[in-house]
Amino acid sequence: MRDISVVIPARNEHPAATFTLQAIWDQLEGSPFDWETILVDNLSTDKTGSFCKNRYWHAKGRHKIVEYTEKGSCWGARNAGLSVAEGRLIFLFDAHVLVSPDLFAKQIHTFDAIPSATVLYTPVIWMGDSRCHTAYGYSLGENNGHMKTKFWGSWTKRKQSDEPYRIPMSGTAGIAVRREFLERIGGWPAPLSVYGGGEQWISLACWMLGGECWIDPRTYVYHLADTRGYAGSQDERKFSTNDAHMFNVLLVSYALGGEKWWLHRLQWVMSESNPHAWKKQYHEALRKIAHMAKDEGEPYRQFIEANAVHSLDEVLEINPWEMAPVGGD
């Protein structure tokens, strides 16, 4: 088994994906780790998938190119990459990031030093942003209005820390996960489309199943925040991007929290108090999306019910990410 598999889903990401890969190769070449990179070409119509074929690392067997053609979905593409990955640690990045120096060495050390760390997030720095000294995760808790309404946490600046610390949830532009956990949960739910929902799934499922999510503030990824690949695409359901995102979040709400959280999310997006609520003429279509999401989320709900150590409500009440730090009282 290899030490590292780096999985990168990409849809029409040329040439950004090449820069992302090159930065990763430069860091891993000559390292003590046995590594591989996997680019998953998800219905690209440009050179995203073909550009690196038969070039150096591909020819050396270190770089795999996988095609995922079922639908436009970064989560489905990640699952396709996981199916051929050989590493004990799985690193997943967006196709338009640059990784910080020594990211892999530092994060592998974190996994080795903290056996309870299951999911390890990388702070995000927006490339070209004047606020580049900041990085973000998600804040959750019973008093968090975003959790009560949107079924995700609000953005929050990272703590000033020289050591990794526990975190409830974060975005997945940069994330590393122990292989056994991904195999246990089967990666991301297969019905998920485009993007969205996967952050809640991987983070909250981890906490509910007895794992821990951490973030390593010594590392970061520069993220190119721009419209590319998945934005504006449609999958085989003929959903718009907004419809698909709503489907994702409703499915994961049901899978993790059952009918209570599924209904909670549905009611919020129709609520007159929500400034971003769907207009009344679209509520019938929204209900159809919601019931489809619930139906397709049923197997994942059954898995969570059979395996979870804590319910979603219990996790939010316990706030396990607030436990004393390693070495603390």
Sorted by where each begins, the domain ranges of the chain are 2-223, 241-320
Checking if the pLDDT of 190 tops 70, the result is yes
pLDDT in tens, 269-297: 888 888 878 888 889 999 999 999 999 99
Checking if the pLDDT of 230 tops 80, the result is no
pLDDT in tens, 80-102: 999 999 999 999 999 999 999 99
Options 3.90.550.10, 3.20.20.60, 3.40.47.10, 1.10.10.10; CATH of 2-223: 3.90.550.10
pLDDT-derived band at 206 (thresholds 50, 70, 90) equals very high
Among candidates 269, 259, 262, which has minimal Cα distance to 200?
Answer: 262
Checking if the pLDDT of 203 tops 70, the result is yes
**What average pLDDT does the structure give for the chain?**
88
Contacts of 74 (CB under 8 A, 6+ apart): 9, 11, 42, 194, 195, 198, 230
Percent of the chain whose pLDDT exceeds 90: 65
Per residue, the 3-state secondary structure of the chain, as one string, reads CEEEEEEEEECCCCCHHHHHHHHHHHHHCCCCCCEEEEEEECCCCCCCCCCCCCCHHHHCCCEEEEECCCCCEHHHHHHHHHCCCCEEEEEEECCCEEECCCHHHHHHHHHHHCCCEEEEECCEEECCCCCCCCCEEEECCCCCHHHHHHCCCEEEECCCCCCCEECCECCCCEEEEEHHHHHHHCCCCCCCCECCCHHHHHHHHHHHCCCEEEECCCCCEEECCCCCCCCCCCCCCCCCHHHHHHHHHHHHHHHHHHHHHHHHHHHHCCCCCCCCCCCHHHHHHHHHHHHHHHHHHHHHHHHHHHHCCCCHHHHHHHCHHHCCCCCCC
The region of weakest confidence among 40-44, 108-112, 158-162, 182-186 is 158-162
The pLDDT of residue 236: 39
Q: With 0.95 as the threshold, say if the pTM is over it.
A: no
